[in-house]
Amino acid sequence: MPFETVTIEAVEPVGPSDEDVPPGADADSVGGIRVLSDELDTDGVSVNHYTLDPGESFRVSTHRHGVQEEIFYIVSGAVTFGSDAAETTVEAGELVRIPPGTSQLGTNDGDTPATGLAIGAPREYEEETEWLVECPDCDERTVHTFGEAATEGEYRYECTGCGHETYRVSA
């Protein structure tokens, strides 16, 4: 079996536009995500490269993975990781471990761009991810799931408390 190699610059950045950040989410803007796992054809580990301008976050809101453990390596700049229980700033050259089941969101609170690698295992985890988003029916931040909608190519956030679809995005 041959080795798989890829340069970060060879992978096109993807990610939600600012318009696709749900109302009531913690992030205002999400940075560019380069999904390296696909190019490396990994089975058991997720590898992503992020570029965060000031004010941008790794994801759209505070979230927790039920089964995935994540390691973030900050290549340049600094990123503040917050949860309901703690907050820490990770500088260039440092790593932080996020255990499964831990609510977290990483945001570039600085004045200069930040880059980082996110490494998570197991790779397939989306169905286990819970998002904290404002639910208008519950009138508070509640746990939401994110998954495919009935319309092909669309995804939805659904409140686990009341079942309300709070937001829909197109792929």
pLDDT at 147: 86
pLDDT digits (tens, 9 = 90+) for 9-63: 999 998 888 888 888 888 888 999 999 999 999 999 999 999 999 999 999 899 9
pLDDT digits (tens, 9 = 90+) for 117-160: 999 999 876 667 898 989 999 999 899 988 888 888 888 899 99
Instruction: Tell the burial category of 99 from Cβ atoms under 10 Å away from its Cβ (0-12, 13-18, 19+).
Output: exposed
Ordered by where they begin, the domains of the chain are: 8-125 (2.60.120.10), 127-170 (no CATH)
Please list the alpha-helical segments (H only) found in 41-118: none
Tokens, residue 72: 């973030």
